[in-house]
Amino acid sequence: MEKPEVLRREISTLVFDQYGTIVDMQAGLVAAVTPFLKTKGWEGKPNSFVTWWRRTHYENSMIDALCDRGHTPYRQIGHRAVSFVMDRSGITYTQDEVQWLVAEIEKLKPFDDVLAALQKLRNAGLKLVILSNGDRDMLEAAKPYIGFPFDDVISVQEAGYFKPHWKTYATAQERIGEDRSSILFVANHAFDCIGAKSFGMRTAFIDRRKRPFGETPHQPDLIVSDFNELAAVMSDKP
């Protein structure tokens, strides 16, 4: 890992994943689906339903990027994932219900430690940007629920691929207009950090779930437990 003083000296921009890093996707979607599943008479665990949903979405987005036959919108991937999980769970549903559930992603709130930490990072003179797999309109709709004015919000639609395809990070770097080594990419997901690091960005892994990063040549430059620790490391100017 890189020494904190080196990161503070050389990093000018922090780029954040949104879903699961800035906003609490698991808890937010569990809260949304719990009453819905109850009305359907489903006796399974809402947390499991959301985990299946997210895993199916991830799998389908990776298939979409690897097939390389044109970018499928995040919302459409979401519809496929939710429909699959409904079928798997034996739940009768309408397309309107699927659309409603996918739209709940736009209303997700930040983790409790995020906003104060972002302000501390901004006060330290760092540029703060989001790079998300979400569609442009979904990211725009989410802004009021997040409640923090990022310097830029970039959708992978601009690149035409889902993360961790290298073109997503290249597109962000081109739009930011700085050397990739001066950008610290921040995510709660190892795959996202690996993608950014392999492109040449520095990376910070938010280890909220207390899981090993895994064996890879693209290890993160920084591992922190939450945003408070990230802000403490990156805003402590020498």
Overall number of domains in the chain: 2
Considering 87, 106, 125, which residue would you say is the last residue of a domain?
Answer: 106
Helices and strands (DSSP H and E) totals, the chain? 10, 6
Q: Which helix (H) or strand (E) holds 202?
A: strand 202-206
Residue 206 shares a structural domain with residue 227: yes
Summarised one tens digit per residue, pLDDT across range 140-189 is 999 999 999 999 999 999 999 999 999 999 999 999 999 999 999 999 99
Residue 193 has pLDDT above 50, yes or no: yes
Predicted local confidence at residue 4, as pLDDT: 85
pLDDT of residue 238: 39
Q: Are residues 46 and 87 in the same domain?
A: yes
Mean pLDDT rounded to a whole number for the chain: 95
Given a cut of 50, whether residue 45 has pLDDT beyond it is yes
Q: Could you tell me the CATH number of the domain that includes residue 44?
A: 1.10.150.240
Q: CB 216: neighbour CB atoms within 10 A?
A: 13
User: Can you give the residue range of the structural domain that contains 70?
Assistant: 25-106
Give all strands (DSSP E) within 106-201, no chain letters: 127-132, 152-155, 183-187
State residue 227's pLDDT score: 97
Q: What CA–CA distance (Å, rounded) separates 81 from 124?
A: 40
Query: pTM of this prediction?
Result: 0.94
Q: Looking at the structure, tell me whether residues 30 and 93 fall in a common domain.
A: yes
Task: List phi, psi (to 5°) of 17.
Answer: -70, 150
Query: What pLDDT is recorded for position 166?
Result: 96
Query: Are residues 121 and 53 part of one domain?
Result: no
129 - beta bridge partners?
A: 15, 152
Indicate if 223 and 125 belong to the same structural domain: yes
pLDDT in tens, 74-129: 999 999 999 999 999 999 999 999 999 999 999 999 999 999 999 999 999 999 99
